Chains A and B, each alone.
Chain A
Amino acid sequence: MSRNRSFSPKVVTANLLREGDVVYLTEDDRWVASLTEAEVLTDEAHAQMRLVDADKPSVVVGTYLADVRVTESGPVPTHFREDFRATGPTNYAHGKAAEKDA
């Protein structure tokens, strides 16, 4: 797949309908809790197509594309809001903050 120079890498993210947890879409169409497993989308047309495909209203809510930066350890958020979604709150080891500690 060709890279689009003006398009910053993205992942598809949402919240689970039943639980509300933050999740990311993998290349094989699974919703996972860990951003590192997410499919990184580098082509705008493909990203839009994946976003449409990902809209499974009986599984997830509020699907959207989030900007990421690609590192050796996988995608990481470029904005602090997405960083908090990926890592959980800073005041308690709850949600993803608990998973991080574990």
Chain B
Amino acid sequence: MYHYTDFDRDFLAERNAQFRAQVERRLDGSLTEDEFKPLRLMNGIYLQLHAYMLRVAIPYGTLASGQMRTLAVLAEKWDKGYGHFTTRQNIQYNWPRLVDIPDMLDTLGEVGMHAIQTSGNTIRNVTADHFAGAAKDEIADPRPVAELLRQWSTDHPEFQFLPRKFKIAVTGSPNDRAVTRSHDIGLVMKEQDGEIGFEVIIGGGLGRTPMIGKTVRDFVPKADLLPYCEAIVSVYNRLGRRDNKYKARLKITVHENGIEEMRQRIEDRFAQLKPLFSGVDQVMLAGIEAQFALPAFTSNAPAPILDPVLQSFVDTNVTAHKRDDHAIVTISLKKHGETPGDATADQMRLMADLADAHAYGELRISHEQNVILPHVRRDALPVLFAALRSAGLGTANIGLASDIIACPGMDYCALATARSIPVAQEIAKRIDALRIEHEVGALKIKISGCINACGHHHVGHIGILGLDRAGVENYQITLGGDATETAAIGERAGPGFAYDQVVPAIERLILAYLDLRAGDEETFIDAFRRLGPAPFKAALYPQENQDAA
């Protein structure tokens, strides 16, 4: 893991001291709200529906156990005993008082964490494959590059006032677990003639105008990546629209100018920038890479698994590690009926303790709002599972229908047009009650409480979008979305459903899939691709079917 230098620590301390003074000046009336708002947003502080919200960056989703314990301290001391892990691998606190936030930031700073650029029209937290460094299928760990991008983009003087927010995701694996095609810049590691580089994808995004990113260059050598990314952001900074907030993201810039024009402009800018980098970025990258060395693995021969409950957990929540004697364990924050992505302070501490005991002190946060122990000795799986289960963290549902992404929705978010959380809770409870989850198998349900799509509904196999229709919550359903390397935007199924009708609608859809599939091995998305939307729409709208007959 990257360890902060004295420079990093001094920078954070100075920044936190600046913000503390800004809060004091706001409270004594020296700053108006109009003056203060951009300052608080630069430090990740929103005013939401019920309270302030503090969004803390978890760079590329990687946490040390000590950092997780500090997140627990914040939850307990200054919030209501829990935190909410988000689809951008961040954590949000829903109830802090403005007067306490400088102390929260100082506490985060002590463990090398902050909330800088978790809001505003800047380059946001760089996200990565949550299995990075551990995945059996990856070419190399993408996190050193993510850390280099983080250092380059943090407080970058040229990129503090971009036309709109800017998101970068990186993966080292051909199996895309980082939703790279839905980011402003998506970086997919490749190997070409023995050299490591990246396919660079630009202009992806969800929100009110969802677009799958386009490849702007098939292969950028690793040594050229930073100047190439700077060229992209630089071109966007000049070309991106500032006249209309809804047309300001890079995806619209690419759409309006065309990928060929963008490519030419980026290449021209890259040619100017590359000589200016002088290799210092590669020196820095080498230093960062040394800090991402794998742990000193140790293990004993694992005993055969005889407990069927543990076996069920292993089947769903455990993924192959690059070493056969280790495993990647995903801890579900989606216990049926609970709020997706929430963890209590006690649960955070337990996960930190388990990381220390069995996983070399390392944790990850996924964009799917779960926690990962990336390096678990296989012989430790029984004792690990027992401890998780006793704390309500042993739910065996990763990748299944109740492993739902849900944004905070109108229960918390000032932008939301409908609730997300209770819809996710009720779907999960209903699926559990029907006892069909494992029979249904792989199914991605994603829920957003507004068109901004923080819940990634566009790329859910089943997407649910909550809207305000004449003062009443209404839910549109999309079908066939895909967040992986075969990315696709889901298509709207038809008219929306009232709040109390959306769970029965999802139930009809899932039961229809069980009837329609060619066999147990055909997943929901495969069945949808084979059959098209018609039979699924028929299940969603049985009345219209009868009327047409």
A80 to B421, CA, bound (A): 15
> B410 contacts the other chain (Cβ, under 8 Å)?
yes
Contact A78 B471 (CB under 8 A): yes
A85 to B425, CA, bound (A): 21
Known A-B contacts A89-B412, A91-B421, A91-B422; the reply to A61 vs B33 at CB < 8 A is yes
When distances are taken between beta carbons in the complex, the residues of chain A under 8 Å from B96 are 20
B73-117 contacts to A, CB under 8 A, are 80, 94-99
When distances are taken between beta carbons in the complex, the residues of chain A under 8 Å from B47 are 15, 20, 61-62
A19 to B97, CA, bound (A): 4
> Beta-carbon contacts of B425-438 to A below 8 Å, as 1s and 0s?
10000000000000
| Complex interface: stretch among A3-11, A37-45, A92-100 | A92-100
> Beta-carbon contacts of A65-102 to B below 8 Å, as 1s and 0s?
00000000000001111001100111110111000000
> B29 contacts the other chain (Cβ, under 8 Å)?
yes
A94 to B412, CA, bound (A): 11
Contact B410 A58 (CB under 8 A): no
* Interchain CB contact (< 8 A) of B95 among A61, A62, A95: A95
* Interchain CB contact (< 8 A) of A18 among B99, B425, B471: B99
A88 to B473, CA, bound (A): 17
Known A-B contacts A90-B421, A91-B339, A91-B422; the reply to A19 vs B471 at CB < 8 A is no
Contact B49 A84 (CB under 8 A): yes
When distances are taken between beta carbons in the complex, the residues of chain A under 8 Å from B272 are none
Contact B33 A18 (CB under 8 A): no
> B269 contacts the other chain (Cβ, under 8 Å)?
no
Q: In chain B, what residue has the closest Cβ to A80?
A: B473
**Whole-angstrom distance between the Cβ of B472 and the nearest chain A Cβ:** 7
Contact B51 A57 (CB under 8 A): no
A18 to B411, CA, bound (A): 21
When distances are taken between beta carbons in the complex, the residues of chain A under 8 Å from B422 are 90-91
A21 to B52, CA, bound (A): 8
B408-427 contacts to A, CB under 8 A, are 410-412, 419, 421-422, 425
Contact A80 B51 (CB under 8 A): no
Contact B33 A21 (CB under 8 A): no
Contact A17 B98 (CB under 8 A): yes
Contact B471 A79 (CB under 8 A): yes
Q: In chain A, what residue has the closest Cβ to B52?
A: A20
A9 to B247, CA, bound (A): 36
Contact B33 A80 (CB under 8 A): no
Q: In chain A, what residue has the closest Cβ to B408?
A: A89
Contact A96 B97 (CB under 8 A): no
Q: In chain B, what residue has the closest Cβ to A81?
A: B410
> Beta-carbon contacts of B317-341 to A below 8 Å, as 1s and 0s?
0000000000000000000000100
A92 to B80, CA, bound (A): 10
Q: In chain B, what residue has the closest Cβ to A95?
A: B50
A81 to B410, CA, bound (A): 7
> A54 contacts the other chain (Cβ, under 8 Å)?
no
**Whole-angstrom distance between the Cβ of A84 and the nearest chain B Cβ:** 6
**Whole-angstrom distance between the Cβ of A17 and the nearest chain B Cβ:** 7
> B291 contacts the other chain (Cβ, under 8 Å)?
no
Contact A19 B50 (CB under 8 A): no
A95 to B98, CA, bound (A): 15
Q: In chain B, what residue has the closest Cβ to A15?
A: B47
> Beta-carbon contacts of B12-27 to A below 8 Å, as 1s and 0s?
0000000000000011
> A22 contacts the other chain (Cβ, under 8 Å)?
yes
When distances are taken between beta carbons in the complex, the residues of chain B under 8 Å from A15 are 47, 51
Known A-B contacts A80-B410, A90-B422, A91-B411; the reply to A20 vs B51 at CB < 8 A is yes
Contact B51 A21 (CB under 8 A): yes
Known A-B contacts A18-B99, A19-B98, A80-B473; the reply to A88 vs B50 at CB < 8 A is yes
A85 to B410, CA, bound (A): 9
Residue of B411, B421, B471 contacting most chain A CB atoms (<10 Å) = B411
Contact A18 B50 (CB under 8 A): no
* Interchain CB contact (< 8 A) of A20 among B97, B421, B471: B97
**Whole-angstrom distance between the Cβ of A68 and the nearest chain B Cβ:** 13
Contact A95 B51 (CB under 8 A): yes
When distances are taken between beta carbons in the complex, the residues of chain B under 8 Å from A22 are 49-50
> B32 contacts the other chain (Cβ, under 8 Å)?
yes
Contact B32 A57 (CB under 8 A): yes
When distances are taken between beta carbons in the complex, the residues of chain B under 8 Å from A89 are 50, 411-412, 421
**6 A-B pairs (CB sep. < 8 Å):** A18-B97, A18-B99, A20-B52, A58-B28, A79-B471, A92-B80
Residues of chain A at the chain B interface (Cβ within 8 Å): 15, 17-22, 57-58, 61-62, 78-81, 84-85, 88-92, 94-96
Give me the 5 closest cross-chain CB pairs, A-B, nearest first: A20-B51, A89-B411, A20-B52, A95-B50, A19-B97
